[in-house]
Amino acid sequence: MAKAKARVAARKIKDKWKAKVWYRVLAPSLFNNVVIAETPAASQELLINRVAEVSLQDLTGDFRKSHIKLYFKIDNVDGTDAHTYFIGHSMTNDYVRRLVRRRRSKIDGVFDVTTRDGAVIRIKPLATTDKRIQTSLKHRLREMMREVIESYARERTLDELIKGIMEDELPKEISKACKKLYHLRRVEIYKTELLKRPVPEETAEEEVKKEEKETPKEEKKEEEKSETEEKAEEKEEVPEEEKSEESEKE
């Protein structure tokens, strides 16, 4: 009897595993919807909000980008394809340690910036120098880095910003701007974190239209209030004038 119960229990476990379906996890359109992983799940709902990690080398085939790790979160499932969106990236610890050497200065920062399409992303840059520099100069370089990153993000969408970071366009802009103040040995964006997803263009246009419709109504209401207040003041002033005229006649 005990052996029969064990066999039944084993069959139930096998049946649960067989009931699962394998899904392909696809990268966003920015990375050409490349298959980054395959994962099993009993239902599509269980896939939502799962996070997949992949190196940039696996996506682009460039071995020089093996130290960059990208993170994607599943938000939509279509058949056996799980679609994701970008939530951040980071560099490996050994790579960051190699950048920082003795008798050199490190300038890093944490900046929350807003892109042109309404996304909010946290960017963490890292710059190194050939030799040690004063703290006051570090503060000035950090402030210059912040200005460059904010202006760069403001003029671009989230996808364009990510592309600029992965292709080292943003680090080059930072190095070029800081060169006027001090020459930087190396500039890297070693970590990013998505805080708010971009606003779709349709919803953004609808919000603008609503604001345009609501503002005239509010202005009309304010005008009506001002007119009623003026009339009330006129009514209050008339009796006082009449009283003054009657007192003069007497």
Helix (H) or strand (E) holding 232: helix 201-249
The per-residue pLDDT for 214 is 53
CB 83 within 8 A of CB 75: yes
Per-residue DSSP letters for 19-35?
H-EEEEEE--GGGTT-E
Number of Cβ within 10 Å of residue 5's Cβ equals 9
The per-residue pLDDT for 103 is 87
The per-residue pLDDT for 2 is 59
The per-residue pLDDT for 20 is 87
The per-residue pLDDT for 147 is 96
Q: What is the pLDDT along the chain (250 residues), one digit of tens a residue?
A: 555 666 666 555 556 777 789 999 999 999 999 999 999 998 899 999 999 999 999 998 889 999 999 999 999 999 999 999 999 999 999 999 999 888 899 999 999 999 999 999 999 999 999 999 999 999 999 999 999 999 999 999 999 999 999 999 999 999 999 999 999 999 999 999 999 999 876 554 555 455 455 545 555 555 565 556 555 545 544 444 444 444 444 4
pLDDT digits (tens, 9 = 90+) for 73-89: 999 999 999 999 999 99
The per-residue pLDDT for 228 is 60
pLDDT digits (tens, 9 = 90+) for 111-130: 999 999 999 999 999 999 99
Residue 40 in 3-state DSSP? strand
- pTM of the predicted protein model: 0.75
The per-residue pLDDT for 26 is 96
Question: From CA 221, how far away is CA 217, in angstroms rounded?
Answer: 6
